[in-house]
Structure 1
Amino acid sequence: MGRGGLREEKGVMASDFLWSYTDEPHASRRRQILSHHPQIKELFGPDPWAFLKINLAVLLQLWTATSVQNAGWLKILAIAYFFGSFLNHNLFLAIHELSHNLAFSTPVYNRLLGILANLPIGVPMSVTFQKYHLEHHLYQGVDGMDMDIPSHTEAHLVRNAGAKVIWVLFQLFFYALRPLFLKPKPPGVWEFINFLVQIGLDFAMVYFWGWKSFVYLILSTFVGGGMHPMAGHFISEHYVFKPGQETYSYYGPLNLLTWSVGYHNEHHDFPRIPGSKLHKVRQIAPEYYEGLESYDSWSQVIFMYITDRAVGPFSRMKRKAKQSE
């Protein structure tokens, strides 16, 4: 692999992405692990508790939204940051889980549950997210295919700590809007269903409980995706702090609230295993994971990203598309 742009020296930010000339590592590691530990296949399949967990989170967040209808704005902001953000980010990652059909064996049921999980987030995104996220798995790092990677515009603009602070605060917008600008896909029937159901909920929230309840939901989504401990996973998963590895796991306590998305190497190796069982992959095959760089604090990852002058949006691994793609 090589790095374009400026020389690789401490404190100097690159002017190009890290380029790899090998395939992404997960397919080959999956084959190796299954050859030595075939019992891992027993972990494949839906999480029987997913439906209940998602419904509880949705009901709790919608109830909280109705409860703050007469609260002051400062109180609403505080509740959104210290409580609602955790619920909405949990639901965002539930939608990630559902994009892999890990609540039901029948895909359409996962899609319907995803639309339900979307409700407190306030903006329709569950159906569109699945389209782009599955491509992230199929074409990890592939130029023009993997929309998880920042655009050249983002990378050229975010060149110092101040710009990185702003980028982190608004990273959810970049994450959501980037694929719509770089690789737009025509909406289908399910996008329209997602849109209509979501707008219906938003309208009902404003009509029956007022703007404060609706704004609470939007704030919970926005602050939960910015300078927030749970949002550290956006950076920790694939941003390269030490060249040589392109996917990183997090083994801290916030996995309990995030469908164990921190087990990210394990997830990319085995996307058919639900988050509730990913820790078992590491237990069964420790020799494949203990030698990899990992994190135990998402907040620390955000701090390192902002303060390390050599790290920025260009700190991602890319590879050229194959002719067959």
Structure 2
Amino acid sequence: MGRGEDREGVAAAGGFFWSYTDEPHATRRRLILSKYPQIKQLFGPDHSAFFKISGVVLLQLGTGALLHDAGWLKIFLVAYFFGSFLNQNLFLAIHELSHNLAFSTPVYNRWLGIFANLPVGVPMSVTFQKYHLEHHRFQGVDGIDMDVPSLTEVRLVKNMIAKTIWVFLQLFFYAFRPLFLKPKPPGIWEFINFSVQIALDVSMVYFFGWKALAYLILSSFLGGGMHPMAAHFISEHYVFNPDQETYSYYGPLNYLAWHVGYHNEHHDFPRIPGNKLYKVKEIAPEFYDSLASYRSWSQIIYMYIMDRTVGPFSRMKRKSSKAE
């Protein structure tokens, strides 16, 4: 299907793919639950989340402390080959917590998210939840879903070199896009998140020096750029097949990524924690086996950069029903 053609309610115009049907997940959720109501038994928190998050936070902060007087090359190598995996793990733990999947009481999830945020180096857990829940409710809706790249990105990122730079910096685009396009006034929880994070950063510098903090921030930057773990940003919703707007990844890195690779399953059932999403596919395979999916996140980055027909514009968008 070429851009500009119509097929099953999808058209390509202005660079993006435009859908004139509802997002697919609510419909598939209803169909699956009507056939397999036992899936509701998977709903609820992952009671091991607190212990897993605590272990990673302490391990990453401890690693930063141990590297306080290391050379910059060693800090870079440890950050890329070790710390980046830990910080992406924590970023995706924050994603889990944004859906209240560690505790039944929402405020406990928010506090755990602020704790999980500590090794990331910059405050983001509270703000992330605000925008991410809109991504689920209004997937692809123009002007609301801030997961979709901006027109500026589409206009600037048009060739292999630009896409390579974009991949290196995609974490910055992901973080700052909503702040420029759809800023939300901060509340008390953003202030708490900011205060706790700055207190941790200052403490790291005071007790262990600037290199300890630099290691944490470098781990976040490297893990969110040209890195296998960061490929989930691309694999989840970038359209390689015009008939499909959400894609799952079934490779081994799911074990480090809170199984966020099961992304069709996650959008279909956001109340199911990551460690149980594989059961959705096992119970209802006929709903997922026919969908395109991935086995390698590294391959996704290569495909994204090398394929001239793919770029920031390769996203499905739809108009808000309120505007119709």
Query: SS at 1:323's partner residue?
Result: helix
SS of the residue corresponding to residue 272 of structure 1 reads coil
Q: Tell whether 2:249 aligns with 1:250.
A: yes
CA shift digits 1:195-223 (9 cap, x unpaired): 00000000000011000000000000000
Return 5+ residue gaps in structure 1 as ranges: 8-12
Q: Deviations over 1:51-83 (max 9, x none)?
A: 000000000000000000010000000000000
- Give, in whole Å, the separation in 2 of the partners of 1:76 and 1:294: 35
What SS class does the counterpart of residue 262 from structure 1 fall into?
coil
Distance 1:14 1:131 in 2: 29
TM-score, reference length from structure 2: 0.96
Q: CA offsets per residue over residues 224-254 of structure 1, 9 Å max, x none?
A: 0000000010000000011100000000000
Q: Which amino acid aligns with 1:197?
A: V
Match of 2:146 in 1: 147
Asked whether 1:304 is paired with 2:307, we answer no
Rounded to whole Å, the distance in 2 between the matches of 1:84 and 1:76 is 10
- Match of 1:239, as an amino acid? Y
Structure 2 Cα separation of the partners of residues 146 and 82 of structure 1: 32
1:111-260 pair list within 5 angstroms:
111-260=110-259
Counterpart in 2 of 1:98?
97
Q: Does 1:18 align with 2:12?
A: no
Alpha-carbon distance between aligned partners in 1 of 2:154 and 2:248, rounded to the nearest angstrom: 24
Q: How many Å apart are 1:324 and its aligned residue?
A: 7.0
Query: Are the aligned partners of 1:2 and 1:18 in contact in 2 as well (CA < 8 Å)?
Result: no
Distance in 1, matches of 2:253 and 2:118, equals 23
The list of structure 1 runs, each at least 4 consecutive aligned residues, that deviate by more than 2 angstroms after superposition, is 1-4
| C-alpha distance in structure 2 between counterparts of 1:104 and 1:239, whole Å | 31
* Aligned residues of 1:114 and 1:126 also touching (Cα < 8 A): yes
Question: CA offset at residue 16 of structure 1?
Answer: 1.5
1:277-288 alignment, distance < 5 Å: 277-288=276-287
RMSD of aligned residue pairs (Cα, Å): 1.7
Q: Which residue of 1 aligns with 2:9?
A: none
d(CA) in 1 for partners of 2:147, 2:122: 19
Partner amino acid for 1:41? K
Structure 2 SS opposite 1:19:
strand
Q: How many residues align?
A: 320
What letter is aligned with 1:192?
Answer: F
Contact persistence 1:2–1:20 (CA under 8 A): no
For residues 142 and 3 of structure 1, what CA distance do their matches in structure 2 show?
Answer: 19
Task: State the 1:15 CA deviation.
Answer: 4.7
C-alpha offsets along residues 99-156 of structure 1, whole Å, 9 cap, x if unaligned?
Answer: 0000000000000000000000000000000000000000000000000000000011
Counting only pairs closer than 5 Å after superposition, residues 41-52 of structure 1 correspond to structure 2 as: 41-52=40-51
Q: Distance in 2 between matches of 1:186 and 1:14?
A: 33
Amino acid at match of 2:135: H
What is the TM-score when the length of structure 1 is the normalising length?
0.96
CA contact (8 A) 1:230 1:298 kept: yes
Distance of 1:284 and 1:324 partners within structure 2: 38
Distance 1:244 1:27 in 2: 17
| 2:278 is the counterpart of 1:264 | no
Q: Distance in 2 between matches of 1:123 and 1:14?
A: 37
1:14 and 1:314 in contact (8 A); partners too: no
Deviation at 1:323, TM superposition (A): 1.7
TM-superposed deviation, 1:193: 0.1
| Counterpart Cα distance in 2 of 1:3 and 1:207 | 55
